[in-house]
Structure 1
Amino acid sequence: MRIWVTAAAVLATAAMGGCATTGGAAQAASRPKAEAKAAPKPLPKGLDPQASANPFPSTYKPLAGRPTAIVGATALTGTGEQVDNATVLFKDGRIEQVAAGLPAPAGYEVIEAKGKWVTPGLIDTHSHLGVYAAPAVAAHSDGNELTNPTTPEVWAEHSVWPQDPQFNTARVGGVTTLLILPGSGNLIGGRGVTLRNVPGRTVQDMKFPDAPYTLKMACGENPKRVYGSKGRAPSTRMGNVAGYRAAWINAADYKRRWDDYRAKVERGEKADAPKRDLGLDTLMGVLNGEILIENHCYRADEMAQMIDISKEFGYRITAFHHAVEAYKIADKLADNGICVATWTNWWGGKMEMADSVEANVPLVDAIKGGCAIIKSDDPDVTQRLNQEAAEALAAGRAAGLNITEAQAIRWITANPAKALGISAQTGSLEAGKRADLVIWDKDPFSIYARTERVYVDGGIAYDRRDSSRQPVSDFELGLAREGVR
């Protein structure tokens, strides 16, 4: 037995020495081929955040329209230009051309608009229509999930009541697109949803196709008041900041675990998927750059702190909302590419609003790279965003700023589109964009201006002279339509 083992060892040594370059290949060839590793089984439906990224898809269908030429109007394009004696052409739901003196093509409906004005459809970047629906009763109060300081798992669209008559009144005011947000009672309030302002049976019928989701966060007095009154954290501003940071730490860890799992699956290794968490899904979407942060924050010092937190955890703030002290740090906001969505003259409702100035928007806009927005946060203001913008324009001029109406119209059109991640589709009268536009009977910066016709994707969504184009609701009793006199 010992001799046999020795002989075998000698033979093995000879084989290794004499056939070092071929022996391994020969032996491999003599063995059965190893079976390929089986592909990992996909996760059961609903357990993979990537596979469930859009479980409530848009079913929006544009209103029917026809090729149209608006002739002889003054057009504020949303690009900073004013075109006099303009012809605006649109067809198949898209803007074709805007130019002075352009003849109407054959087969187009021609609207004679001499003395009238045309703008892009207005965009309200901060609305609670549908989640605080009319009539304003407790049964319709669905905007704040005040059960935990951080509730990123909730989505505003699941509270939206599409029959809210306030959508109709906003449309009369020229609003064609809205961002519907949760309220500001929580540090992290949940996802917002961007809607087309058209009648719909379901919220999916109104969802802006492929618009990115947003996440509502809130600074300052609201969350500390809500939870401090319950004897819970946070009850101070320092408690607020600790709460944000703890949430992002959890989100970063969740993202790491999913990234590790997917890397192992890619390599064909055995891996156990993390348990899915709806709230952390949303925060992970922010960290991945897929979901936009819309941050309620009044004071300049708190905005600066939120910017530092975003840098600590590697995400970006898209816009600060309310932001009445934005003028104090306008350069810092511009340097970080952050928009400011605010009003003109809302102040004094609480201490953090006390240092507001009417020229806030134009002062932000005056900084190179500044992105200023007028929004509503109110069902009445959304009907007169043009008037709120006119007040800001007047305040800016009074402060010595040289601002044209062609520049100011961007505060309620192009800049809101930028803050919602939809500027490639709407917000300005440019070829190829959605035909969202408003015909005004006067200069829209006049307090006397009224909308004559509102188009969404080239279809007539409202016509002041045609009652059949004026959607009404049984729930509208007692509501004032500010655009109708």
Structure 2
Amino acid sequence: MLNTKLKLGLALAVSVALVTGCSDDKQEERQESVTGIDKNPFPSTYQKIDSKPIVITNVTILDGIGGKIEDGEILLKDGVIVEVGKGIRLPSGAIEIDGKGKWLTPGIIDNHSHLGVYPSPSTRSHSDGNEMTSPVTAEVWAEHSIWPQDPGFQRALAGGVTSLQILPGSANLFGGRSVTVKNLPNRTIQDMKFPEAPYGIKMACGENPKRVYGDKGGPMTRMGNVAGYRQAWIQAQEYQTKWAQYETELEAGGSPKRPSRDLNLDTLAGVLDGDIIVHMHCYRADDMGTMMDVMKEFNYKIGTFHHAIEAYKIADKLAENNVCSAMWADWWGFKMEAYDGIKENIPMVHAANACAIVHSDSDLGIQRLNQEAAKAWADGKRAGIDISQADAWQWLSANPAKSLGIFDKTGSLEAGKNADVVLWSTDPFSTYAQADKVFIDGAMVYDRSNPESWPVSDFELGQIAEGDAK
């Protein structure tokens, strides 16, 4: 499934995991409460690939948080960024890469992807993203549907994507848990799972739940949607209270009757506890306003509105409530709630000091997210919204990292963070830019100049061999 270099690194990682799998450190990752319930029953088994120190020199650097360095340098060592700036001393045994004429950025983070749950080839047998059996299916987890052999992961890697959130679809009011992964293709999804990244939950408002359930007993209206959310949160509050009382009595030395577990309410209570981030499919400004009202009623936090076609209409309210918007550069008009889309949406949200994100929601769009950001940036400039390229790159790295709860680990070129880095052939806001080299945790996992090293899905190997034979 992987090139020789990656296979070797992964084989070593697996052997280490087998030896240390029962270590105290691994046990500490499993978040058990006093009840004995494991809140992380499927922990990450991701292992970074060992690599020699790497110094990239003479390169234009966008640090992902608004900074730009001309003729800059960066040192990657032991999986992290050690230093960014100028005059970096080359460590013994380090690999030096001359970046003259090239640009360097943090790896792209796509916070809205369905790779693996809607993989290629797109067939009904592979369609595992929507559990359309009830308006509320918070009990399902996207990671249990993901097919790691989806060739889309390799395509995204070639586009500079180093991490991504994989979400269930948007048919339901509550569609289930999402998962964040490192884009290092592997054998199981747990081997790709971003260590310590919090879970998300997919919610959807507007037309989708109405369309799917209007003839199945509802909801069939927007007011029906909102009643459905509120009823679910009421049940989650009752469940949360029941378990809190049980834990209190247990800690006090009592022998209370253990409440029955409910997988659906486990997830919803996790949102109310602040452990799970809400990612909400929502197009219209009025729907987003309503959902922020419901958020306040039940005291939970919406992390990001996804698609957010009309975010520009309420950008100030999004900033006030610290809610991100993940948006397309120019998708609009394909259904009524997408009708009021404008090309200046992303820069207008940014200009209001709200958290703006460029996302894909597409196995094709994820391959050229730098171009999507460039389109939005250029449309903003034409409208008189002057945003620097350095600031605009936040839409692809820092802001999605914040929305996923992983900004302390990745999303910017800062000392101590994961060495998730892309070396571009030219200005990444150019139509002609390509990812020359992609690094995840300091290891070069994609090299455009060496096609034989490119990772290939097992699913495609037979097709490639057949093509070569012809």
The verdict on a shared fold, with TM-score over 0.5 as the criterion, is: yes
Percent identity over paired residues: 56
Equivalent residue for 1:155?
Answer: 141
Displaced runs of 4 or more, over 3 A: 46-50, 474-479
Q: Which of 80, 99, 102 is 2:66 aligned to?
A: 80
Cα shift at 1:101: 4.2
> Tell me, which stretches of 5 or more residues in structure 2 are unaligned?
1-31, 465-470
1:405-457 per-position Cα deviation (integer Å, ceiling 9, x unaligned): 00011100110000000000000000000000000000000000011000000
1:291-339 per-position Cα deviation (integer Å, ceiling 9, x unaligned): 0000000000000000010111110100000001000000100111100
Aligned residues of 2:181 and 2:192 also touching (Cα < 8 A): yes
Equivalent residue for 1:448?
Answer: 432
Aligned pairs (5 A) from 1:122-271? 122-230=108-216, 232-271=217-256
Aligned residues of 1:414 and 1:423 also touching (Cα < 8 A): yes
Equivalent residue for 2:100?
Answer: 114
Cα shift at 1:460: 1.2
Tell me the distance in 2 between the aligned counterparts of 1:75 and 1:180.
29
Tell me the distance in 2 between the aligned counterparts of 1:213 and 1:443.
34
Cα shift at 1:75: 0.4
Matched, 1:466 2:456: no
Equivalent residue for 1:60?
Answer: 46
Equivalent residue for 2:264?
Answer: 279
TM-score between the two structures when normalised by the length of structure 2: 0.90
Tell me the distance in 2 between the aligned counterparts of 1:221 and 1:264.
44
Aligned residue-pair number:
432
Equivalent residue for 1:51?
Answer: 37
Equivalent residue for 1:330?
Answer: 315
Cα shift at 1:63: 1.7
Tell me the distance in 2 between the aligned counterparts of 1:339 and 1:287.
19
Structure 1 or 2, whichever has the larger Rg, is: 1
Equivalent residue for 1:105?
Answer: 91
Q: Which of 350, 359, 377 is 2:344 aligned to?
A: 359
Tell me the distance in 1 between the aligned counterparts of 2:458 and 2:244.
51
Aligned residues of 1:86 and 1:102 also touching (Cα < 8 A): no
Q: 1:265 to 1:148 in 2, by over 3 A?
A: same
Aligned residue type for 2:231 = A
Tell me the distance in 2 between the aligned counterparts of 1:138 and 1:162.
17
Tell me the distance in 1 between the aligned counterparts of 2:92 and 2:41.
44
Aligned residue type for 1:329 = I
SS at match of 2:256: coil
Q: 1:463 to 1:138 in 2, by over 3 A?
A: same
Q: Which of 435, 439, 443 is 2:423 aligned to?
A: 439
Aligned residues of 2:219 and 2:225 also touching (Cα < 8 A): yes
Tell me the distance in 1 between the aligned counterparts of 2:380 and 2:183.
30
Equivalent residue for 2:8?
Answer: none
Aligned residue type for 2:229 = Y
SS at match of 1:79: coil
Tell me the distance in 1 between the aligned counterparts of 2:259 and 2:447.
53
Equivalent residue for 1:295?
Answer: 280
1:174-229 per-position Cα deviation (integer Å, ceiling 9, x unaligned): 00001000000000000000001012111100000110000000000000000113
Q: Which of 400, 414, 427 is 1:416 aligned to?
A: 400
> Tell me, which stretches of 5 or more residues in structure 1 are unaligned?
1-45, 480-485
Equivalent residue for 1:349?
Answer: 334
Q: Which of 57, 63, 68 is 1:71 aligned to?
A: 57
Tell me the distance in 2 between the aligned counterparts of 1:225 and 1:328.
25
SS at match of 2:375: helix
1:100-123 per-position Cα deviation (integer Å, ceiling 9, x unaligned): 343433321000111000000000
Aligned residues of 1:134 and 1:475 also touching (Cα < 8 A): no
Cα shift at 1:402: 1.3
